[in-house]
Structure 1
């Protein structure tokens, strides 16, 4: 079976079953796991599916969910991750927070502090700081992306490139050791990438629903991520792969 035929079968299988594993595809198509992995990577690059640890899911499964949908996902785990992340913020730090439910929870954890500076493009992060007069908050403007309640676009990117944070907590829909932090949307990726540029430390806050997930647009490659905070339900093999790549992994 030639590559094009094999990849069509892979897409048909994903559309029918909702998810596929490399081992199952290898057995069905009577080809090596290496070949299947290469096929999945190619199809992911074409935007026809989304890579996960050990397989793939339909591209639509990794769409940019509404904020309400994200808020309901793994809330207890996100809260624990936010509490753990807050412990890494010190007095005098400049902290950049991307948009997202976990970063909003982190902002609430930090709202009682003093002597820190927050940089964000998120309306919800800014709102969490409204009653915190001892915290300087810099909100970068731009084009409002309603689904994430945050500003994106060229203007936002330009402002962020002129700022340097001690620690950046970027947003992201997925984190895969062999790829990095990713999102389905180019404008969001561009903004988060600008936020991470020149940062003293990039820390990804990802609950287990995001670990191993590879969305379509790279935000921050694995080699530029210093620290990951996740929960105990994350795939151990994926966490080990992150550690092998030099990332410090913390389980909240």
Structure 2
């Protein structure tokens, strides 16, 4: 499966071979010891280290259920009449499909796949950057793309990447893609990163978004035995990144806009309750890059993502990052 797709998630492997993820993880370690593949957090890829990047066909088959859940949750943060930028990637492509129903929306993108997903959305205006086509991910890159973003200002940027760590933030394996992503970030007041659990703890060659610039991470709930992902999520929350955790098992519903935050002690983000279908929202210390003040009260640790509070399906539990 790794040779055919370039990458595969442990969840998908366990489903195909009808065994537990614990068993699959043990077998993947044995295959890595033989040099047949490289383990990545929550999955495995062909050997290649920091410089290797899977193409679109390979990425489109990796963590598909997780990407769908992430896209469903992220779409709820987009409101009518907004102007946003959406970067290239299979997860952002899933997001774009859900944005087609948002009236008055303006989407600036360097991704042909994102533009294609919105091509028939009559109420959405799509603005493409210039640049040179990079065929492996159907994205426009280079100086033309970067120059077309100069002077642009939008409310939010939605970006994906190859890896995400609390230490370096979001990263990718391609220098040209990283440069355009940085230009997209400069155009936005807030930065929302879309990354499934297989990318948590993975560090790739070129940094695109430092951790202190990320406003929110939308991800899926890691497997119960995935301590590394849980640790990374806690570290991100400790640095003030707001975490919205989607359930891949949730049934996708109709897009719902975010509810306005309720007033509470501490600062504007403290104590707020946000409803998301099939997701868990964990506000961080930072609402956006312009508002870093205040400090939330003490909160439970995120250590072990499976230890989230019990909740009815579709309900949301609000937690804040652990204070140091």
Contact 2:50 2:173 in 1 (8 A): no
1:153 has 2:142 as partner: yes
Match in the other structure for 1:68: 57
Deviations 1:46-88 (A, max 9, x none): xxx99979xxx96537621110100000001100000100000
Q: Which runs of 5+ in 1 are unaligned?
A: 1-14, 20-48
Task: Give the drift of 1:197.
Answer: 0.6
* 1:209-248 alignment, distance < 5 Å: 209-233=198-222, 235-248=229-242
TM score, norm. by length of structure 1:
0.76
Between the two proteins, the alignment pairs up a number of residues equal to 206
Contact 1:182 1:214 in 2 (8 A): yes
| Alpha-carbon separation, structure 1, partners of 2:220 and 2:162 | 15
| Alpha-carbon separation, structure 1, partners of 2:34 and 2:243 | 32
**Cα distance 1:90–1:218, how it changes in 2: closer, same or farther (>3 A)?**
same
Match in the other structure for 1:196: 185
Task: Give the drift of 1:162.
Answer: 2.5
1:173 has 2:167 as partner: no
Contact 2:107 2:125 in 1 (8 A): yes
Contact 2:79 2:102 in 1 (8 A): no
Q: Which runs of 4+ in 1 moved over 2 A?
A: 15-19, 49-53, 57-62
Report the 3-state secondary structure (helix = DSSP H, G, I; strand = E; otherwise coil) of the residue aligned with 2:188.
coil
Contact 1:181 1:220 in 2 (8 A): yes
Match in the other structure for 1:41: none
Report the 3-state secondary structure (helix = DSSP H, G, I; strand = E; otherwise coil) of the residue aligned with 1:147.
coil
* 1:85-124 alignment, distance < 5 Å: 85-124=74-113
Report the 3-state secondary structure (helix = DSSP H, G, I; strand = E; otherwise coil) of the residue aligned with 1:200.
strand
| Alpha-carbon separation, structure 2, partners of 1:101 and 1:177 | 22
136, 141, 154: which is aligned to 2:130? 141
**Cα distance 1:147–1:204, how it changes in 2: closer, same or farther (>3 A)?**
same
Match in the other structure for 2:73: 84
Contact 1:181 1:221 in 2 (8 A): yes
Report the 3-state secondary structure (helix = DSSP H, G, I; strand = E; otherwise coil) of the residue aligned with 2:140.
strand
Contact 1:51 1:215 in 2 (8 A): no
Task: Give the drift of 1:198.
Answer: 3.9
Report the 3-state secondary structure (helix = DSSP H, G, I; strand = E; otherwise coil) of the residue aligned with 1:166.
strand
Structure 1 vs Structure 2 CA RMSD: 2.3
Match in the other structure for 1:251: 245
| Alpha-carbon separation, structure 2, partners of 1:122 and 1:77 | 21
Structure holding more helix per residue: 1
Contact 2:149 2:187 in 1 (8 A): no
Contact 2:173 2:205 in 1 (8 A): yes
Contact 1:229 1:250 in 2 (8 A): yes
| Alpha-carbon separation, structure 2, partners of 1:114 and 1:186 | 35
TM score, norm. by length of structure 2:
0.60
121, 127, 133: which is aligned to 2:116? 127
Report the 3-state secondary structure (helix = DSSP H, G, I; strand = E; otherwise coil) of the residue aligned with 1:201.
strand
| Alpha-carbon separation, structure 2, partners of 1:58 and 1:99 | 24
152, 162, 165: which is aligned to 1:163? 152
| Alpha-carbon separation, structure 2, partners of 1:196 and 1:105 | 20
